[in-house]
Amino acid sequence: MKRLLIVLLIITLGLFPLGCNQDKQSALPDKMITIGIMPDVDSVPFLIAEKNGYYAKQGVQVKIIPFKSAKDRDSALQSGQLDGVVSDMVAVIFANAGGINLRMCSRTDGTIELMTGKGSGITSVNGLKGRSVGLSSNTVMEYSLDRMLEANQVQPSEVSKVAIPQLPTRFEMLQGGRVDAAIMVQPFSSLALKDGGMVLTSTDILANKCVTIAFTAESLSDNPEEIKAVMRAYNDAVVYLQTEPTESYLDYIIQAMGFPAEVKDIIKMPQYHQAELPEKRIFDDVMTWMADRQLVKTIYNYDDLINGEVLR
């Protein structure tokens, strides 16, 4: 009888941890968080988190949906297909004005660059007076251009703005000399440099980055723990990107993003940082720019459009 009791005790103790693990597994969130990304370096941590299994490690299911254009991304957001997006302050303000309640949860690390093309003869921002600049109108690209010009004592009205929404087309027009300069992002800015272009200034130089990670207010309310897990996985990916050599993951990123193969040896990856809220001073400036241009009727405060709870 004594031996039987010992055997039963061993079995009970052996099964108890298993039972605890099963309860823990069944308690993991099963909501799928969908995130829309663009083909840019700002979205890389989300892809690395997927590749390296960080979402599963944090106990959350995530579906990354790539988009070729901001218009398609925003249409998917409006139709309720997305919980979150890699976006920017201008687009977030437009979304809220249009009835999509988006909340900014973090800044990102990519940079926007003002570049001249080969043979333009332009070597400074001041040299852009009376010259053409390719951009996408009423977007973060135009906001960035205006602030770059003004920081160098050039009025936006002193340049000829040419609307070219698609980045590949903008790059081709810069390369072909059909515009004198253009607003570019990676990897197209590296391609333009390789072709003989020149960077005049950037949002890095101005310390004026306004690209963000944003989630819908509904998803933040309904799925706070899942989104916290997403952002922990994002931070895990940042640690990886900070410590691993670029060649360890670049082939994967080029394929996943659909970047041209020739960017492999020239693309400039940013220094990634842990998730943190966007800067209030930048948001306030973006809001002022949009209000001055009468792009929206409502004036939003910084606190109206942020959510820092998911970073805690």
Tens-digit pLDDT profile for residues 205-229: 999 999 999 999 999 999 999 999 9
Residue 167 pLDDT grade (very low, low, confident, very high; cuts 50, 70, 90) = confident
Amino acid identity for residue 208 in this structure: N
pLDDT of 28 over the 70 cut: no
Give me the pLDDT at residue 32, please: 95
Q: Residue 25 pLDDT > 50, yes or no?
A: no
- Cβ count near 83 (within 10 Å): 24
Pick from 310, 215, 256, 229: nearest CA to 61: 229
Cβ burial of 7 (10 Å; 0-12, 13-18, 19+) is exposed
CATH code 3.40.190.10 for 112-206? yes
pLDDT reading at 125 higher than 50: yes
Are 27-110+210-311 and 112-206 equal in CATH topology?
Answer: yes
Give the contacts of 68 (CB within 8 A, at least 6 positions apart).
39, 258
Give me the mean pLDDT over the 164-176 stretch.
92
Give 249-294 pLDDT, tens digit per residue.
Answer: 999 999 999 888 888 889 989 999 999 999 999 999 999 999 999 9
pTM: 0.87
Give the CB-side neighbour count of residue 63, counting CA atoms within 13 A.
Answer: 10
Q: What is the largest CA-CA distance in the chain?
A: 99
Q: Are 107 and 86 in contact (CB under 8 A)?
A: no
Name which residue leads in pLDDT, 168 or 18.
168
What local confidence, expressed as pLDDT, does residue 168 receive?
A: 87
Q: In this structure, are residues 182 and 135 in contact, taking their beta carbons and an 8 Å threshold? A: yes
Cβ–Cβ < 8 Å for 60, 226: yes
Which has the higher per-residue pLDDT, 30 or 107? 107
What span, in angstroms and rounded, lies between the C-alpha atoms of 50 and 237? 9
The highest-level CATH class for domain 27-110+210-311 is alpha beta
Instruction: For the chain, give every domain's residue range.
Output: 27-110+210-311, 112-206
pLDDT at 16: 36
Check whether 8 has a pLDDT greater than 70: no
* All residues at 6 or more sequence positions from 160 whose CB lies less than 8 Å from its CB, including other chains: 130, 131, 132, 133
DSSP 306: B
- Residue 29 is predicted with a pLDDT of 54
Per-residue pLDDT, averaged over 42-54, amounts to 97
pLDDT for residue 309 is more than 60: yes
